[in-house]
Structure 1
Amino acid sequence: MDRQLYSMHNIIRFVTDQPILDKEWQAIHHFFQYVDRQWSRFDPASEISRLNRLLIGQSLTVSLPLARLLQRAIRYFEQTEHYFSPFLLEQQYANGYDRSFPFHAATEIEGTVPPDISPFLVEGCEVTRVGGGSIDLGGIGKGAAAMIVAQRLRKSHTRGLIEAGGDVIVWSDAHPWKIAITDPQTEQAIAEVRLRQGAVATSNRIYRSWKVGERTNHHLLSGKTGRPIETRYVQITASAPQLYEAEVMTKLAFQMTETERQDKLFKWFPNGRLLLMDDSGKMVAEEKGGQSIWTG
Structure 2
Amino acid sequence: MERQLYSMHNTIRFVTENQIPEEEWQEIERFFSYVDREWSRFAEASEVNRLNRLRIGETLSISLPLARLLKRSIRYFEQTEHYFSPFLLEQQQANGYRDSFPFHYATESERVGPPEITPFILEGLEVTRVGGGAIDLGGIGKGAAAMMVAQRLRKERRRGLIEAGGDVVVWSDETPWKIGVTHPHTDEEIAEISLRQGAIATSNRIYRSWHVGERMNHHLLDGKTGRPIETPLIQVTASAPQLYEAEVMTKLAFQMTEQERQEKLFKWFPNGRLLLLDASGEILSEKKGECALWTG
TM-score bucket (shorter structure): over 0.9
Task: Tell me which residue corresponds to 2:289.
Answer: 289
Task: Tell me which residue corresponds to 1:178.
Answer: 178
**Partner amino acid, structure 2, of 1:210:** W
Give distance in 2, aligned partners of 1:14 and 1:187: 21
1:294 CA displacement: 3.4
Conserved 8 A contact 2:167-2:201:
yes
**1:39-75 CA deviation, whole Å, 9 max, x = no partner?**
0001110000000000000000000000010000000
1:293 CA displacement: 4.4
Q: Which 4+ runs in 1 deviate beyond 2 A?
A: 292-296
Task: Tell me which residue corresponds to 2:260.
Answer: 260
Task: Tell me which residue corresponds to 2:197.
Answer: 197
Query: Where do residues 71-90 of structure 1 align in structure 2 (5 Å cutoff)?
Result: 71-90=71-90
Query: Where do residues 56-135 of structure 1 align in structure 2 (5 Å cutoff)?
Result: 56-135=56-135
**1:74-131 CA deviation, whole Å, 9 max, x = no partner?**
0000000000000000000000000100000001112100001000000000000000
**Partner amino acid, structure 2, of 1:176:** P
Which of 286-295 and 204-213 deviates more? Answer: 286-295
Q: Secondary structure at the match of 1:83?
A: coil
Q: Secondary structure at the match of 2:76?
A: helix
Task: Tell me which residue corresponds to 1:33.
Answer: 33
**Partner amino acid, structure 2, of 1:189:** E
Aligned-pair Cα RMSD in Å: 0.7
**1:210-239 CA deviation, whole Å, 9 max, x = no partner?**
000010000000000000000000000000
- Consecutive unaligned residues of structure 1, counting only runs of 5 or more, are none
**Partner amino acid, structure 2, of 1:186:** T
Give distance in 2, aligned partners of 1:46 and 1:80: 28
- Consecutive unaligned residues of structure 2, counting only runs of 5 or more, are none
Give distance in 1, aligned partners of 2:92 and 2:63: 25
Give distance in 1, aligned partners of 2:27 and 2:172: 23
Give distance in 1, aligned partners of 2:293 and 2:150: 30
**How high is the sequence identity, in percent, across the aligned residues?**
75
- 1:246 partnered with 2:268: no
Give distance in 2, aligned partners of 1:295 and 1:23: 45
1:295 CA displacement: 6.0
Give distance in 1, aligned partners of 2:111 and 2:166: 29
